[in-house]
Copies of this chain bind each other. A is one copy, B any other.
Amino acid sequence: MREQAREVVAGNVRAAARACRMVDDELPGHLELLKDLFPHTGRAWVVGVTGNPGAGKSTLTDRLIEALRARDAKVAVVAVDPTSPFSGGAILGDRIRMQRHAGDAKVFIRSLATRGALGGLSRSARDIVHVLDAWGADVVLVETVGVGQDELEVVRTAHTTLVVMAPGMGDDVQAIKAGILECADVFAVNKADREGADSTVRDLELMIALGGETVFGGSHSASHVGATLDQKARDGPRTGKWTPPIQKCVATKNQGVAELLTKLDEHHSWLESSEAGRARQAERLVMELQAMLRDVLGREARRSLSSEVVSLAARVARREVDPYSACEELVLRFRTTVPGEPKE
């Protein structure tokens, strides 16, 4: 075990692959391994890549790998796939496109399947990022297929989040999921040679200008937006706040990719050199620990209370007890039963 951790830290690709599998499947010893590896983490820059299906995330990720390799950076990719058997083909196709980097010893690509359980995916992604960080990746790209809540959780574990949009994806406006604005550090408008790209950029600019303000019921005239943008520009240098830039690109033609990487780099520098950036990093760590705590609690409760849950559910079905009181009873039992056996 200790030997395995040593091999990962030494940069052994096979050891890293084995470690990822162990962690993903939660095999015995995976927690010890993660604990061994953790002191060797903290060097990698973690970049999340998200956006709706069809925005061209995989192709863009592939181009980013290329651009990062041109700098001789050691790159790891965690590709988060849905389990849907039906989508296998299409997504494997994307993966295969990326696999042209497979012969490159400084590129490591790992696919993660989404699990049925809520939170299972983000747990796994978080742990695998730690493995790849310890393995010596300079950059870890975490790419998700969709933009569901679970994927947003995954993306929140990244230092820098790239949201990829494409024009003409049906109803763009509806397609912008809750939470995306809050987690986006850089926007890419991909397929920018298509009709509607400028309007997608304008929509994003408007959204960024309005920031957290709600649009519901408010009148947002052009002058209002202009004033908000001016205010942002004045605030920027003063508060050190980050305003997400937008980069148009055409991943298939490798256009705008270098510029996009520059914008991602700028965010990376901001994180490390500004007060606000460092505060953001600290906040991210708190969120990560909270998420881990919630996952562990959920798992332990499921394990230690499974028979109680089943019998209480039957009583709820018979209307003998309401589910709110049943839940309170379960929580109290969980909190007052000291776990008898060591974890893992």
What is the interface of chain A, defined by CB distance below 8 A to chain B?
31, 34-35, 38-39, 41-42, 53-54, 82-92, 113-114, 116, 118-119, 121, 145-153, 169-171, 173-182, 203, 206-207, 210, 212-216, 281-282, 285-286, 288-294, 296-298, 300-302, 305, 309-310, 312-314, 316-317, 319, 322-328, 330-332, 334-339, 343
**Which of B170, B179, B181, B212 is the one whose CB lies under 8 Å from A170?**
B170
| A335 smallest CB distance to B (angstroms) | 6
Instruction: Enumerate the 8 nearest inter-chain pairs by beta-carbon distance, A residue then B residue, closest first.
Output: A148-B148, A82-B178, A38-B322, A149-B150, A53-B174, A294-B298, A85-B215, A54-B170
CA distance A121 to B164 in the complex (A): 25
Is A153 touching B203 in the complex (CB atoms < 8 A)?
no
Q: Is the CB of B290 within 8 A of A35?
A: no
Known: A53-B170, A84-B178, A90-B174. 4 other contacts (CB 8 A): A54-B171, A87-B176, A118-B119, A334-B335
| Shortest Cβ gap from A151 to chain B (Å) | 7
| Chain B: CB-nearest residue to A121 | B149
Q: CB-CB < 8 A to A175: which residues of B?
A: 53-54
Query: Whole-angstrom distance between the alpha carbons of A305 and B296 in the complex?
Result: 14
